[in-house]
Copies of this chain bind each other. A is one copy, B any other.
Amino acid sequence: MTVERRPSPSRSRRPTIKDVAEAAGVSRSTVSRALTGRGYAASDVRERVLRAAAELGYVPDVMARTLKQQVSRSVGVLVSDLRNPFYAELAAGASREARERGYTMVLADTSLSAEAESEAAEALVALRVAGVVVTPNSSAVSTYLSAHGIPVVEVDRQFAAGSTDGVVVGNRVGARTATSHLVELGHRRIALFIDETDWTTGYERYQGYLEALAAGGIKVEPELVVSSGWDVADSRRRALDMLRGPDRPTAVFAANNVLAEGVWRAIGELGLRVPGDISLVAFDDTPWMSMVSPTVSAVSQNTYGLGATAVRRLSERIEMPEADSVTTVLNVRLISRESTAPPPEI
């Protein structure tokens, strides 16, 4: 790490509405009316004000405006982990929609830590954001924000269904479709890699898996359901353990892109052939899945759209605070690629 030094400049005071008023020879009220377009302002005066503002480089102070109006034009977005392409894409979608609707986005990466999550929530309350989009880790955030009168939209996962809006994907259907695909190919020993099975997204995907097995008349084998941690390293380790075992599964359904990555790496390290030795299907299509060889079949969700839809819902909620809460379910689709085939002959 190298460092170079150079001299630096200084600065002055920021122009306020008062400065603009003096420059244009009118009162502050008139400037405000001319700039915001609310209320009367003769066209020549308006023009004079606009010119003065432009010359001074005047930018209205959002703090003061929000203080007065008691409502800001920014929304908070709380995601778990920006390094995960899923959340990054979701944030990107939220960002575009926010900009289009004239909102500023305040984003915090909560790193899967409950502490960071509540810290961030408090910061958003302090900022008097107009609303919050969150990928929640517990019901605490939504409850807290709602108690402060801040509209919340839960996205991807949903803890406060019934009291707050939600935007999720068809987790159960997606998981069932993916698992059924394996069943139809003739697989009977189908492992599930999943982060957790009790709440919201994880629960739904687990149920979808169970439903597909049931429909295929297959008994669930608990040792084939792996509750892995949240990172690639952990998932890889668990996959190594399972796939090295004597009667390993003939197929794996990985319930998210991180777990899929771990499983994929483990498969590669063990020298197993896909789909010859083992089939793999993932929930959440990520770029690498169409780049590796063989390409990986995946349930694709419109992640960008998820973020955009959440912000759209939020903005509707802000405009109609009393309307019934709504859960929007985006559809998913299975993209069948090269990683799935009938099980090997015994």
Is A10 an interface position by the 8 A CB rule? yes
A5 contacts B322, CB within 8 Å? Answer: no
Is A19 an interface position by the 8 A CB rule? no
- Chain B residues with CB under 8 A of A108: 95, 99, 104-105
Can you name the residue of chain B whose Cβ is closest to the Cβ of A104?
A: B123
Least distance between A236 CB and chain B CB atoms (Å): 11
The A interface, classified by DSSP as helix, strand, loop or mixed, is mixed
Is A23 an interface position by the 8 A CB rule? no
Is A220 an interface position by the 8 A CB rule? no
A267 to B177, CA, bound (A): 32
Can you name the residue of chain B whose Cβ is closest to the Cβ of A5?
A: B324
Is A321 an interface position by the 8 A CB rule? yes
Least distance between A108 CB and chain B CB atoms (Å): 6
- Chain B residues with CB under 8 A of A123: 62, 104
A109 to B331, CA, bound (A): 26
- Chain A: residues with Cβ within 8 Å of the partner, total of 79
- Chain B residues with CB under 8 A of A74: 106, 127
Least distance between A211 CB and chain B CB atoms (Å): 18
Q: Which of B1, B72, B324 contacts A8 (CB 8 A)?
A: B324
> Known contacts A63-B66, A116-B99, A288-B291: does B128 contact A4 (CB below 8 Å)?
no
Number of copies: 2
B126 contacts A61, CB within 8 Å? Answer: yes
A88 to B84, CA, bound (A): 8
B12 contacts A149, CB within 8 Å? Answer: yes
Is A146 an interface position by the 8 A CB rule? yes
A89 to B10, CA, bound (A): 32
Least distance between A319 CB and chain B CB atoms (Å): 14
Least distance between A216 CB and chain B CB atoms (Å): 26
A7 to B125, CA, bound (A): 24
Give a binary string over A90-119; 1 marks a CB under 8 Å from any B CB, 0 the rest.
011001100100001111110100001001
> Known contacts A11-B149, A57-B148, A107-B106: does B291 contact A3 (CB below 8 Å)?
no
List A residues at the B interface (Cβ < 8 Å): 1-12, 14, 57, 59-64, 66-67, 72, 74, 81-83, 85, 88-89, 91-92, 95-96, 99, 104-109, 111, 116, 119-120, 122-123, 125-128, 146-149, 161-163, 261, 264-265, 268, 287-288, 291-293, 304, 321-331
- Apart from the given pairs A61-B67, A104-B106, 13 other A-B contacts in the complex at a CB distance below 8 Å: A2-B328, A5-B326, A9-B146, A62-B123, A63-B127, A74-B106, A85-B85, A95-B108, A95-B109, A99-B108, A99-B119, A268-B293, A291-B292
A-B pairs with lowest CB-CB distance, top 4: A88-B88, A11-B149, A288-B288, A82-B92
The 12 sampled A-B contact pairs (Cβ below 8 Å) are A1-B328, A2-B329, A3-B327, A9-B163, A59-B125, A61-B126, A91-B109, A99-B109, A106-B106, A265-B291, A291-B292, A293-B293
